């Protein structure tokens, strides 16, 4: 089973659990709070998004915003 998982990871079909954990920890750190409500995937470069946050927030139609 371990070899099957490794083959899937090597083929790009699965994401290693460490990468997912790092992504979740980065989001939980608060550093990326400006991306709140945005649809993100494991392949998103969070630092690159933050570098152009004004454009992301202005142009992103995939952002969920709640108004009270």
Q: Let me know if residue 65 belongs to a domain.
A: no
Q: Let me know if residue 19 belongs to a domain.
A: yes
Q: Let me know if residue 64 belongs to a domain.
A: no
Helix (H, G, I), strand (E, B) or coil at 25: helix
Q: Let me know if residue 43 belongs to a domain.
A: yes
Better-scored residue on pLDDT, 67 or 24: 24
Q: Let me know if residue 37 belongs to a domain.
A: yes
Check residue 16 and give its pLDDT: 85
What's the sign of the alpha-carbon dihedral 59, 29, 41, 62? Answer: negative
Q: Say if CB 57 and CB 35 are below 8 A apart.
A: no
Better-scored residue on pLDDT, 1 or 60: 1
Q: Which residues pair with 63 in a beta bridge?
A: 38
Q: Let me know if residue 66 belongs to a domain.
A: no
Residues 8-47 have pLDDT tens digits of 888 888 888 899 999 999 999 999 998 887 888 998 999 9
Number of structural domains in the chain: 1
Residues sharing a CB contact under 8 Å with residue 9, sequence separation 6 or more, in sequence order: 15, 16
Q: Let me know if residue 34 belongs to a domain.
A: yes
Q: Which domain holds residue 45?
A: 2-59
């Amino acid at each position: 089973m371990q070899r099957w998982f490794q083959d899937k990871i090597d083929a790009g079909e699965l994401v290693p659990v460490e990468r997912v954990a790092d992504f979740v920890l980065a989001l939980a750190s608060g550093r990326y709070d400006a991306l709140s409500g945005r649809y993100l995937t494991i392949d998103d470069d969070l630092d690159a998004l933050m570098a152009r946050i004004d454009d992301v927030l202005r142009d992103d139609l995939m952002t969920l915003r709640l108004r009270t």
